[in-house]
Amino acid sequence: MAEKLLLPLDLTQAEAWNKVIDEAIGMAQRRGAELHVLWVVPALERNLRRLPEDKKPELDAFLKKRFPADLVVKGHVRGSMEAPHRSIRTVAEEIGANLIVMGARNPRLKEHLMGSTASQVTLYAKCSVYVVR
């Protein structure tokens, strides 16, 4: 069975994650793994006219443009009212991910008090987590 890597991204800030994306691509290529890209979006947007599944074409276009054609890449959009780290862990379990590759930013005060998304995923994920700074 092929390995599965999960790469959670926020497409509204995709340029900020180039290093993480490149690292995930390299890891997937070296391992011969499938790369699953996850975008967690609000379950309801402010205008109530766009559903999470409406974002799938945007994700697919990004994947086609940014990832090599010879790599197996699958896109997932998850609408959630809860914290992103819960959705990331849930999708990792659903797809049977062997590894989560994700980025971490310099923490702000809120992250010092509550923990960042990366720290929450690292603490509670059932698979290994590789955090890129």
Q: Where are the domains of the chain?
A: 4-132
Q: pLDDT, tens digit, for every residue of 12-61?
A: 887 788 999 999 999 999 999 999 999 999 876 665 566 788 899 999 99
Task: Work out whether strand 128-132 and strand 4-9 pair parallel, antiparallel, or are unpaired.
Answer: unpaired
Phi first, then psi: what are they for 42, rounded to 5°?
-60, 140
pTM for the whole thing?
Answer: 0.90
Write the burial class of residue 121 (CB in 10 Å: 0-12 exposed, 13-18 middle, 19+ buried): buried
pLDDT surpassing 80 at residue 108: no
Which residues, in sequence order, are bridge partners of residue 128? Answer: 99
What CATH code is assigned to 4-132? 3.40.50.620
